[in-house]
Amino acid sequence: MSSTTSHFSLVTETPAASPEEAHRHFLAKLSVETDAADVRLDLQRGQDGFILIDARGAQDFEECHIPEAINLPYRKITAASTTHLTKEKLLVVYCWSPGCNAATKAAARLSALGFQVKEMLGGIEYWRREGGPVEGTLGEQAPLVR
């Protein structure tokens, strides 16, 4: 750290939201996001209130995916390709990593079709980093990201 003191703060240059505004923001954020640890714990506990969707391509899914996940590449999401999914359950979508936005694109398409959806932050990369099980032709030997 520098020993000089600045009279200007990059952190406080934009005023912080009020506690009420911040509360609304963070609740809204949690309404569309979840993380690998919460998904894993719910699956371990037998929770069945959501369906896990892998938004990556078919080959990537075949090589390595989270057990119980359904492959639905984001580019193929249409009303016709989702007829097998129920709108009674939350869909949780994931892709490769924080650097991948396929899950975000899938969530946008699915929500436009009337599904409730959350994005699993960190994707399969963070699922694996946190010790989550995977299956597929390459399983644990598959690359973390592409």
The overall average pLDDT reported for the chain is: 95
User: Which amino acid appears at position 33 of this protein?
Assistant: E
How sure is the predictor about 144, in pLDDT bands with cuts at 50, 70 and 90?
Answer: confident
- The CATH code of the domain that includes 135 is 3.40.250.10
The domain in which residue 83 lies consists of 34-139
Query: Count of residues for the chain?
Result: 146
Sheet holding 90-94, edge to edge: 33-35, 117-121, 90-94, 50-54, 70-71
19 in a domain, yes or no?
no
- Taken in order 103, 106, 110, 111, the sign of the CA dihedral is positive
Instruction: Tell me how many domains the chain contains.
Output: 1
pTM: 0.90
Per residue in 34-68, pLDDT tens? 999 999 999 999 999 999 999 999 999 999 999 99
Is 2 a residue whose pLDDT tops 60?
no
Is 1 a residue whose pLDDT tops 90?
no
